[in-house]
């Protein structure tokens, strides 16, 4: 028969396992980031992310005038130039590595930056989800053992 403390421990462990699994699956499946930014006059917007080879990137910038400084790995798209009104950047990563994009508003109106950037997820996030799942399993195991055989002193 299960005691109240054992049931509470098993419940807490199940919640940890379910939440850890849900967020782990969600972080694995979502590596596309939708961008919808507004950049004020004189300000800048910086994107820095890691991408694998053949990832598709798309970025649209609309405003009176702006400067884009962009570096992609290897011999990929390299931009350091002023633009007027609108530009659409659509490219595929030619090599694994870090992408750096700095968009500076040099005009007299706000900039609208939209697009989709596909990036590699951080491996530490995956590890933290595994840690939560294993902690939940440990809590369930300890609670179940205490309900089967109550140790002396408890």
pLDDT tens for each residue of 52-78: 888 888 889 998 889 999 898 888 778
Domain match, 147 and 104 both: no
The mean pLDDT value for 139-150 works out to 78
What pLDDT is stored for residue 50 in this prediction?
Answer: 81
Q: What is the H or E stretch that residue 28 is in?
A: helix 4-29
Phi first, then psi, for residue 151 (nearest 5°) are: -70, 155
Extract the tokens encoding 136.
């939940």
Domain match, 81 and 102 both: yes
Domain match, 116 and 40 both: yes
For residue 154, pLDDT over 80 is answered with: no
Domain match, 89 and 142 both: no
Domain match, 136 and 75 both: no
Structural domains counted in the chain: 2
Domain match, 98 and 131 both: no
- Structural domain of residue 62, as residue ranges? 32-120
Phi first, then psi, for residue 48 (nearest 5°) are: -140, 120
Q: In the chain, where do the E strands start and end?
A: 32-39, 44-51, 56-71, 79-92, 97-105, 111-118
């Amino acid at each position: 028969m299960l005691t109240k403390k054992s049931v509470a421990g098993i419940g807490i462990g199940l919640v940890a396992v379910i939440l850890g699994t849900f967020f782990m699956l969600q972080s694995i499946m979502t590596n596309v980031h939708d961008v919808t930014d507004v950049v004020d006059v004189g300000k800048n917007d910086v994107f820095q992310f890691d991408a694998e080879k053949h990832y598709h990137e798309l970025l649209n910038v609309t405003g009176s005038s702006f400067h884009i400084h962009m570096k992609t790995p290897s011999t990929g798209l390299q931009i350091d130039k002023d633009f007027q009104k609108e530009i659409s950047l659509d490219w595929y990563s030619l090599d694994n590595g870090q992408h750096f994009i700095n968009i500076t508003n040099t005009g007299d109106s706000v900039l609208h930056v939209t697009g989709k950037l596909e990036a590699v997820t951080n491996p530490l996030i995956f590890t933290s989800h595994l840690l939560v799942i294993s902690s939940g399993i440990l809590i369930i195991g300890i609670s179940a053992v205490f309900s089967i055989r109550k140790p002396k002193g408890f």
